Amino acid sequence: MTSDKDILCIDTTLNGCSVAVKPASQDASFHVEIMGRGQSDRLVPMILECVSARGLALQDITLICTSTGPGSFTGTRIGLSAAQGVALSLDVETVGYNDFECVVAANGFDKSCAIAIDTKRGDFFFKIYHPDNGFSEGSILEADDVLAQSKNMFLISNGDIESVEPFDSETILRGLLANALETEKGFAPSALKPVYMREAETSVSKIKYKTISSS
């Protein structure tokens, strides 16, 4: 257990910049700012502000927990990089949990449920959770397929799906902390790895360049 540690939690996988601070033997505080972009500029100042607001110095932090995705490709990398950088500078351990694990932990689910994470590209990262068997293989589905595969199940999503229990960035943050408090031991920052369910899209230049012969 890590209840005796001063814990910092970070999430930038969805549409926000989120930080939680839990001093040892005290309640946690949660701070979420919704933003479509700018997490890379805002995250470190937010960390310093939130840590200071709890009467701590950054050097007092003894465990850093971060979400590992899936979500925004860039956002996931921003959070992981910040967690690794701060942990290395402080020489402290880290732990990482994916967004599906965070949703389950935040809600304390003890029954089967389906989780759909909005990709912001017209579809969803999707998994089913069973208390006895853990998570199913992940898939990327459109809304109608999410509803079909989760029929007669409790469905939770951060997207626009009919008859769904919502979650948001604060849910991920609370799930991170819940998981961190159950962690027996952290790991080196280099052990943090992003969870991607789709390769990053790259744009191809439409400009036609003239080929110059070497002859």
Q: Does any domain span residue 208?
A: no
Largest CA distance in the chain: 74
**Residue 162's pLDDT is what?**
81
Q: Does any domain span residue 202?
A: no
pLDDT in tens, 157-188: 999 998 789 999 999 999 999 999 999 889 99
**Residue 1's pLDDT is what?**
58
Beta-strand relationship, 124-130 and 29-34: unpaired
Q: Does any domain span residue 65?
A: yes
Q: Which domain holds residue 185?
A: 7-100+168-191
Q: Does any domain span residue 89?
A: yes
pTM value? Answer: 0.90
User: 135 with 100: CB under 8 angstroms?
Assistant: yes
* Summary mean pLDDT of the chain: 91
130 and 153 in a single domain? The answer is yes
58 and 154 in a single domain? The answer is no
160 and 113 in a single domain? The answer is yes
23 and 85 in a single domain? The answer is yes
26 and 81 in a single domain? The answer is yes
94 and 174 in a single domain? The answer is yes
Is the pLDDT at 205 greater than 90, yes or no? no
CA-to-CA dists, residue 69 to 26, 66, 77, angstroms: 28, 9, 9
Question: Which residues lie across from 109 on neighbouring strands?
Answer: none
69 and 53 in a single domain? The answer is yes
Q: Does any domain span residue 200?
A: no
76 and 122 in a single domain? The answer is no
Q: Does any domain span residue 117?
A: yes
Is the pLDDT at 122 greater than 50, yes or no? yes
**CATH, residue 60:** 3.30.420.40
Q: Does any domain span residue 204?
A: no
19 and 63 in a single domain? The answer is yes
User: 19 with 47: CB under 8 angstroms?
Assistant: yes
**CATH, residue 141:** 3.30.420.200
Q: Does any domain span residue 77?
A: yes
pLDDT in tens, 54-110: 999 999 999 999 999 999 999 999 999 999 999 999 999 999 999 999 999 999 888
172 and 159 in a single domain? The answer is no
175 and 158 in a single domain? The answer is no
- Rounded CA gap, 7 and 4, in Å? 9
28 and 121 in a single domain? The answer is no
Q: How many domains is the chain built from? A: 2
**Residue 209's pLDDT is what?**
40
